[in-house]
Every structure is written in structure tokens, then in C-alpha cells.
């Protein structure tokens, strides 16, 4: 999820750390973007996980943008950890395992941080002490929500869920044990019309690609698909949502796996964090610059004019054949019709990506190519 936010005059500057983890499935990004060695990549920073994972494909440059400076301060910290630490120390510092000296590790990294990033982390040392991976605002909400689910469904039932060995077992478990009134009640409470109206969202005006008539029905379908159709053993998103932590040291993002550490470390300086409104930053870049765009769900936080501006700049700055992936969380957005002859949706691939997306929250995951 991107922390991009906009008004008609441009995007609002944010200062709180919203995400310390990416909630876009990196495997989906990588399949859609089809990276090649030497690619120049544009990505939304968010938690930084996916961008760091992209380094496995040996790009020449990744520009990661976020309107929220705090997200780029996080990226600076993660870059510094890869640059200066060995794998075991980094894993402990990030929060993959218990470690007693996170503050002293941070002090060893501070010379790699900009003045703004250093000031930010000096003011947010509790996040450092707890390990950064699951301690943004959204992650704290996820942990509370997970505790609520464990209370409603029972801790034993949640633990039994992660013992299932096959998709067939998952379907049977979901239908016979999980899909009860309490489970459905969660969606009715969290996504009812009155609650959403307070956030300025009126579901009656929205079209849902899955045939739903409401947000509660749509999110229920998304969660059901995740639990029944996608193998739980390899889906760290499910563990994070229900347990608040990774299930084990195998089901983790690619950028955190020990076998990828040295390659990411080698390429770490290829990542350049930029704090800016992405559509105006792209306006300053040369034609035919980028091979790939990972846009998260930022389009739904833009009006129609801003959405057109963004994709017009993506078209101009993208190379012929450049790949694009973007998502919708709650508000439907699409490439403006006037640009669709040149920003072409890969229909079959988009359907495949949507079905295999391990992060259930997105209502649309779509892949595109630039045709010039």
C-alpha cells in the first residue's frame, strides 16, 4: 500500500510512519514486471520490502518514491542495515529474531543516514527497540485486528489453521470450522455503510469486479479466497494478519531470506529514495527512462485529473514495452480511457495475478504494457 495522498492542488505531506512492511505481494509485482538485468525501475516506497527484493534481478537503478518522508527514512535505515551488517545481525535488528542491542546497532548505522532520517529515528527509537518490521501504524492495527480474530475464533482454531497441509484441507477447514457467524460479522462491522460513509466512501456508487454489492461482501470474498485457494504454508501475509508475525523463517519476504542477502547487499546503492509527489517528479524525468513501474494503489487516492496526469507521465517516461502494475484497494481506478491504446492491459496475466495474489486486501491487481 502506498502512502501517497493528494488533493486538487497536489499531495499532502505526511510525517508519520504508516507502513514498515509492504502489503503488496512481491511475487505478483515480479511476475507482472518481468525484470531484466539493467532495468531502470520506478516504485512506491511504502515499507521498502518489495523494492529491496527487486535488487535480486540486478537492475541498474531503482527510484523509490513516497510523498511521506517517513517511509523514505525507513528505506534509508533498511539500506544502511544491508550495507553495514551481516545477515544475522540485520535479521535481529529488523525484528526477525530476538536481540538485545538494537539501539547500539542503530548507532553503528547512523553515519549512513541523512540528517532528516537521523532526526526521525532519534525521535522514534521505540520502533528501533521493537524491531522495525511490524511496527508502523498499519502493522499495529493489523496486530490488534489479529488479536481480535483469535479471540472470536479461538486461539486453537487459528493455530490449527496453520497446521493444514494442502489446499483441499484448507477448503474443508474453512467451510466446516472457520466460516461461521462471528467470521462474517467482522466484515459487516468493519465495512458497513455508516462506517465507510464517515471516511467519505459510499459503496453504492462503486462497481466491484467480483460481482459484490458492498464492501463487506467484497472483502469477505477476498479473505475467503486467500484462506481456501492459496497455500497457507507459503503465505506469510496470512500469518501476519492472523498471528502478527511470520510463521517460520522460511515463509518470509525474499529480501529477508539469507540466500538473497549478499546479492541485495551488493546492489543496495542502486536504490534511490525520493520524497515527492510522484506525478510531478515524473514530469521532471526524461522521455523513455523506465522499464518498469510498481505503482501500488496510489491511483485511488487521486481524482480523475491527477490520475490522468500520472499515467500521461508514465507513458512519456516509460520505454516502449515497459511493464506496469497497479492495484485498487477500495476505490476503483483504471487507466484513463484516452490512454488505453498505448497503456494496454494484459487481461489474461491480470486475471492470473489476481487469483494468485497472497495479500487478500486488494480488489484489483492489474498488469499493463506500454505500446509506443
The whole-angstrom distance between residue 81's C-alpha and the CA centroid of its chain comes to: 20
pLDDT of residue 45: 97
Contacts of 324 (CB under 8 A, 6+ apart): 32, 33, 292, 293, 295, 314, 318, 343, 367, 368, 369, 370
Query: Rounded to whole angstroms, how far apart are CA atoms 15 and 21?
Result: 17
- Among 181, 271, 305, 170, smallest CA distance to 224 is for 170
Contacts of 193 (CB under 8 A, 6+ apart): 202, 203, 204, 214
What is the value of pTM for the model shown? 0.92
Cell of 229: 485457494
Query: Rounded to whole angstroms, how far apart are CA atoms 220 and 240?
Result: 18
Grouping H, G, I as helix, E, B as strand and the rest as coil, residue 286 is: coil
Catalogue all structural domains in the chain, each as residue range(s) with its CATH number.
Answer: 6-134+253-370 (3.40.50.150), 147-243 (no CATH)
Q: What is the CA radius of gyration of the chain?
A: 20
List the alpha helices (DSSP H) in 131-180: 137-153, 155-161, 167-173
Are 129 and 168 within 8 A, CB to CB?
no
Are 335 and 345 within 8 A, CB to CB?
yes
The one-digit pLDDT tens for each residue of the chain (372 residues) are 655 443 333 443 456 899 999 999 999 999 999 999 999 999 999 999 999 999 999 999 999 999 999 999 999 999 999 999 999 999 999 999 999 999 999 999 999 999 999 999 999 999 999 999 999 999 998 999 899 999 999 999 999 999 999 999 999 999 999 999 999 998 887 766 565 555 554 544 455 666 677 778 888 999 999 999 999 988 999 999 999 999 998 999 999 999 999 999 999 999 999 999 999 999 999 999 999 999 999 988 788 999 999 999 999 999 999 999 999 987 788 999 999 999 999 999 999 999 999 998 898 999 999 999
Query: Rounded to whole angstroms, how far apart are CA atoms 309 and 325?
Result: 17
Judge residue 166's burial from the number of C-beta atoms within 10 Å of its C-beta, 0-12 exposed, 13-18 middle, 19 or more buried.
exposed
Amino acid at each position: 500500500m502506498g502512502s501517497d495522498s493528494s488533493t486538487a492542488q497536489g499531495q499532502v505531506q505526511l510525517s508519520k510512519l504508516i507502513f514498515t512492511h509492504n502489503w503488496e505481494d512481491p511475487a505478483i509485482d515480479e511476475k507482472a514486471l518481468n525484470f531484466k538485468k539493467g532495468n531502470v525501475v520506478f516504485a512506491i516506497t511504502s515499507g521498502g520490502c518489495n523494492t529491496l527484493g527487486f535488487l535480486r534481478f540486478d537492475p541498474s537503478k531503482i527510484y523509490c518514491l513516497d510523498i511521506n518522508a517517513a517511509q523514505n527514512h525507513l528505506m534509508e535505515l533498511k539500506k544502511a542495515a544491508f550495507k553495514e551488517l551481516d545477515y544475522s545481525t540485520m535479521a535481529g535488528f529488523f525484528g526477525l529474531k530476538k536481540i538485545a542491542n538494537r539501539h547500539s546497532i542503530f548507532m553503528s548505522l547512523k553515519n549512513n543516514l541523512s540528517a532528516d532520517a537521523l532526526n526521525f529515528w532519534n525521535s522514534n527509537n521505540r520502533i528501533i527497540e521493537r524491531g522495525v518490521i511490524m511496527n508502523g501504524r498499519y502493522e499495529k492495527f493489523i496486530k490488534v485486528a489479529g488479536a481480535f480474530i483469535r479471540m472470536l475464533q479461538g486461539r486453537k482454531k487459528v493455530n490449527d489453521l496453520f497446521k493444514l497441509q494442502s489446499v483441499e484441507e484448507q477448503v474443508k477447514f474453512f467451510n466446516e470450522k472457520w466460516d461461521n457467524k462471528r467470521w462474517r460479522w467482522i466484515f459487516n462491522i468493519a465495512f458497513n455503510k455508516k462506517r465507510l460513509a464517515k471516511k467519505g466512501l459510499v459503496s453504492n456508487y462503486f462497481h466491484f469486479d467480483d460481482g459484490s454489492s458492498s464492501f463487506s461482501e467484497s472483502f469477505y470474498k477476498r479473505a475467503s479466497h486467500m484462506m481456501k485457494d492459496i497455500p497457507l504454508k507459503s503465505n506469510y501475509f496470512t500469518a501476519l494478519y492472523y498471528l502478527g508475525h511470520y510463521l517460520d523463517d522460511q515463509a518470509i519476504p525474499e529480501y529477508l531470506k539469507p540466500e538473497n542477502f549478499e546479492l541485495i547487499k551488493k546492489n543496495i546503492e542502486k536504490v534511490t529514495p525520493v520524497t515527492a509527489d510522484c506525478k510531478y517528479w515524473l514530469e521532471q524525468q526524461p522521455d523513455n527512462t523506465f522499464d518498469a513501474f510498481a505503482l501500488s494503489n496510489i491511483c485511488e487516492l487521486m481524482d480523475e485529473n491527477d490520475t490522468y496526469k500520472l499515467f500521461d507521465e508514465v507513458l512519456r517516461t516509460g520505454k516502449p514495452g515497459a511493464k506496469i502494475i497497479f492495484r485498487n484497494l477500495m476505490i476503483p481506478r483504471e487507466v484513463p480511457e484516452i490512454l488505453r491504446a498505448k497503456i494496454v492491459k494484459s487481461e489474461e496475466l491480470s486475471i492470473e495475478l489476481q487469483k494468485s495474489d497472497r495479500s487478500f486486501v486488494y480488489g484489483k491487481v492489474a498488469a499493463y504494457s506500454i505500446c509506443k
